[in-house]
C-alpha cells in the first residue's frame, strides 16, 4: 500500500510528521489549509480509520501504526482548545 506522511503545525507552532498507511488522508486534508482542532480530530479519526481498514482488507489485519498515529494526535491535541487552528503544511 502507498504510505503517505502529512505534516501538522499545531497552535503552538510545533510541527509533527504524521503517518498514514494509505493516500486516503489527502481526501480529508489539503496542504496549506487550517482546521479547527475539533474538525482536525474528526477528520483524522475518520481518515486514519479508513486507512487502517484498507490495510485490513488487503492483508487481513488492521494497521496498528495508523491507530498509534491517531493516539499520538489525540495526545498532543489535549494541550489545545477545540477552536484553536491546526494547519496541514505538506504531504510526502
Kindly report the number of other CB atoms within 10 A of residue 89's CB atom.
14
Kindly report the number of other CB atoms within 10 A of residue 80's CB atom.
16
- Number of residues written out for the chain: 92
Residue 1 has pLDDT above 80, yes or no: no
24-59 residue pLDDT tens: 999 999 999 999 999 999 999 999 999 999 999 999
**DSSP line for 46-64:** HHHHHHHHHHHHHHSS--H
Euclidean distance between the first and the last CA atom of the chain, given in angstroms as a whole number: 14
Tell me how far apart the alpha carbons of residues 29 and 26 are, in angstroms, rounded to a whole number.
5
- The percentage of the chain sitting over the pLDDT mark of 90, rounded to a whole number, equals 98
51-61 residue pLDDT tens: 999 999 999 99
10 band by pLDDT with thresholds 50, 70 and 90: very high
Q: What is the domain partition of the chain in residue ranges? A: 4-91
Amino acid at each position: 500500500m502507498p504510505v503517505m506522511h502529512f505534516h501538522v503545525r499545531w497552535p503552538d507552532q510545533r510541527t509533527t510528521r504524521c503517518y498514514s498507511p494509505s493516500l486516503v488522508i489527502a481526501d480529508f486534508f489539503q496542504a496549506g489549509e487550517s482546521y479547527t482542532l475539533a474538525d482536525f480530530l474528526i477528520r483524522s479519526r475518520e481518515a486514519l480509520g479508513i486507512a487502517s481498514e484498507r490495510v485490513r482488507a488487503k492483508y487481513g489485519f488492521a494497521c496498528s501504526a495508523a491507530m498509534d498515529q491517531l493516539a499520538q494526535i489525540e495526545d498532543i491535541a489535549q494541550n489545545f482548545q477545540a477552536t484553536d487552528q491546526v494547519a496541514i503544511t505538506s504531504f510526502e
